[in-house]
């Protein structure tokens, strides 16, 4: 019998949340040398050069803040703004570069998604979070995004205190830092916080098509529900859940637990995928899609094609980029599940 994700209710301690703040398995072996810039997109080579330069400084031992260390000529921390911000579309290698910077740097260092960072602060509390994270030399934040005013104020306060503590930052996003929050809430009301966040970063644009879909069909043909159930019943460590049951179950779990929900799962089957119209349901599935992609878990999908999972209205709204990222990642996982090359 396949695993039922809907029967799992994992508990995740703050210590586990901190210990898991490393690049996901999909990016555990990437390095600057494995990044292949598109020759027709010069911004990719330019971003690689900037990240390599920052990585060369962070690869050196951290400079002690003392007169003796300055007299001794220790290599300084990176000059200029404390943060690098990689802005660009889906599948242009931003996460590859971010993880490569983390691998290149000496510790202590931390790697997380924006959602994982906000979840961590929620689990620890602001003051303990600042105390814990101030010890890091570098914090890499993937998929930086502001979804609501609460996140805006929280992250503005957190990063401001970390920068004051001397922490270096690096982030990826699909939105320029001074445009965060647009179309999602009244960003103009939080302009000071957004501008304060933007001031911490040197933004670098990376252009290009999504490498996962270059020359490939938009989405693989869905499997029949019967086929999904049959294959997952035969695969060791596979799960199988009905789409509606799964998203209802996700509503009962904090998003910080979605990763633990997948512990020991080797493949995920979902039957009867339907077009979504509820924003709350859709955003939870975006987080689940990210955790699946982080862990490189193949997907066996029945129902509507994955590129039709989010309604046309959703793909025109404020969360459009999040939904498109999720579709991109789910299609890549579904092609793995179907045994097709990506």
pTM of this prediction? 0.76
> 172-181, 223-232, 311-320: which range is least confident on average?
172-181
Structure tokens at 236: 């060791």
Q: Phi first, then psi: what are they for 144, rounded to 5°?
A: -65, 130
Q: What percent of the chain has pLDDT over 70?
A: 84
The pLDDT value given to residue 184: 45
Is 104:72 a contact under the CB 8 Å cutoff?
no
Cα–Cα nearest to 272, from 309, 325, 314, 235:
309
Cα–Cα nearest to 119, from 154, 153, 87:
154
Compute the average pLDDT of residues 47-54: 95
- Band (24; pLDDT cuts 50, 70, 90): confident
Residue 146 confidence (pLDDT) above 90: no
Whether the link from the prior residue into 165 is cis, omega within 30° of 0, is no
Query: How many CB atoms neighbour CB 246 within 10 A?
Result: 23
The pLDDT value given to residue 70: 43
Q: Which class does domain 31-209 fall in?
A: alpha beta
- Band (87; pLDDT cuts 50, 70, 90): confident
Q: Which residues contact 207 (CB under 8 A, 6 or more apart)?
A: 41, 43, 44, 88, 89, 92
The pLDDT value given to residue 207: 86
* Residue spans per domain, the chain: 5-12+212-337, 31-209
The pLDDT value given to residue 116: 86
Compute the average pLDDT of residues 259-277: 96
Q: What percent of the chain has pLDDT over 90?
A: 56
- Band (75; pLDDT cuts 50, 70, 90): very low
Residue that wins the pLDDT comparison between 15 and 216: 15
pLDDT tens track for 160-215: 999 999 999 999 887 655 565 455 444 444 456 656 777 888 888 888 876 655 44
Residue that wins the pLDDT comparison between 124 and 32: 32
Helix (H, G, I), strand (E, B) or coil at 39: coil
Mean pLDDT of the chain: 85
Residue 137 confidence (pLDDT) above 90: yes
In degrees, rounded to 5, the angle at the alpha carbon of residue 41 between the alpha carbons of residues 35 and 43 is 75
Compute the average pLDDT of residues 28-35: 95
Strands of the sheet containing 238-242, edge to edge, are 238-242, 267-273, 299-303
The pLDDT value given to residue 74: 43
- Band (69; pLDDT cuts 50, 70, 90): very low
Cα–Cα nearest to 26, from 292, 340, 306:
292
The pLDDT value given to residue 128: 92
The pLDDT value given to residue 102: 98
Residue 240 confidence (pLDDT) above 90: yes
The pLDDT value given to residue 144: 82
Residue 71 confidence (pLDDT) above 70: no
């Amino acid at each position: 019998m396949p695993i039922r994700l809907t029967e799992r209710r994992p508990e995740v301690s703050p210590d586990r949340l901190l210990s898991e703040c490393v690049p996901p398995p999909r990016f555990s072996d990437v390095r600057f040398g494995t990044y292949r810039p598109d020759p027709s997109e010069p911004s990719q080579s330019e971003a690689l050069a900037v990240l390599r330069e920052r990585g060369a400084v962070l690869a050196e031992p951290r400079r002690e803040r003392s007169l003796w260390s300055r007299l001794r000529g220790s290599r300084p921390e990176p000059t200029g703004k404390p943060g690098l911000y990689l802005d660009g579309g889906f599948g242009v290698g931003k996460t590859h570069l971010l993880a490569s910077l983390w691998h290149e740097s000496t510790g202590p260092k931390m790697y997380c998604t924006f959602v994982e960072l906000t979840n961590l602060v929620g689990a620890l509390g602001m003051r303990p979070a600042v105390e814990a994270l101030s010890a890091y030399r570098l914090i890499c934040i993937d998929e930086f995004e502001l979804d609501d005013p609460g996140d805006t104020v929280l992250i503005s306060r957190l990063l401001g205190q970390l920068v004051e503590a001397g922490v270096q930052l690096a982030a990826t996003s699909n939105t320029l830092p001074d445009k965060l929050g647009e179309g999602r809430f009244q960003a103009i009301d939080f302009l000071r916080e957004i501008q304060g966040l933007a001031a911490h970063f040197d933004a670098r644009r990376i252009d290009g098509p999504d490498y996962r879909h270059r020359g490939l069909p938009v989405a693989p043909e869905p499997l029949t529900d019967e086929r999904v159930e049959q294959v997952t019943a035969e695969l060791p460590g596979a799960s199988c859940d009905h789409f509606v049951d799964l998203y209802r179950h996700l509503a009962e779990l904090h998003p910080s637990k979605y990763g633990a929900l997948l512990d020991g799962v080797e493949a995920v089957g979902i039957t009867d995928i339907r077009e979504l119209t509820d924003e709350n349901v859709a955003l939870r599935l975006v987080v689940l899609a990210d955790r699946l992609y982080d862990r490189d878990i193949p997907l066996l999908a029945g129902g509507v094609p994955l590129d039709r999972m989010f309604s046309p209205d959703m793909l025109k709204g404020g969360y459009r980029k999040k939904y498109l990222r999720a579709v991109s990642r789910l299609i890549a996982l579904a092609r793995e599940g179907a045994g097709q090359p990506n």
